[in-house]
């Protein structure tokens, strides 16, 4: 009985850790852009993403706007700040 509870707890813990990242596919990944994000109409949500250009963007929408505005194809390396930028602060 105790073993069953332990196994169930470990499985649930593993699933909760995996769900935090949101993206389970390969990195880098293409930003998911919508028409409003391509026009710069982004919500003020602080969910930073690290772009393949080494810059941290406030959120995925801001990265999409940057790509559209500058005719670029910056991909998302990881969720959160870029390592080089966070060490400079």
Domains in the chain with CATH codes: 25-81 (3.30.60.30)
**CA separation for the pair 44, 84 (Å, rounded):** 24
Cβ neighbours, 10 Å, residue 60 = 20
CA distances, 8 to each of 3, 16, 19, 77, 88 (Å): 9, 12, 17, 32, 42
Residues facing 76 on adjacent strands: 29, 51
* pLDDT per residue rounded down to tens, the chain (89 residues): 777 776 666 666 665 544 444 667 788 999 999 988 888 899 999 999 999 999 999 999 999 999 999 999 999 999 999 997 766 55
pTM above 0.75, yes or no: no
DSSP state of 75: P
């Amino acid at each position: 009985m105790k073993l069953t509870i332990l196994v169930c707890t470990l499985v649930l813990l593993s699933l909760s850790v995996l769900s935090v990242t949101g993206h389970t596919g390969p990195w880098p990944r293409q930003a998911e852009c919508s028409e409003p994000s391509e026009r710069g109409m982004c919500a003020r949500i602080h969910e930073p993403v690290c772009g393949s250009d080494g810059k941290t963007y406030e959120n995925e929408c801001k990265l999409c706007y940057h790509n559209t505005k500058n005719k670029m194809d910056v991909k998302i390396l990881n969720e959160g700040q870029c390592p080089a930028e966070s060490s400079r602060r």
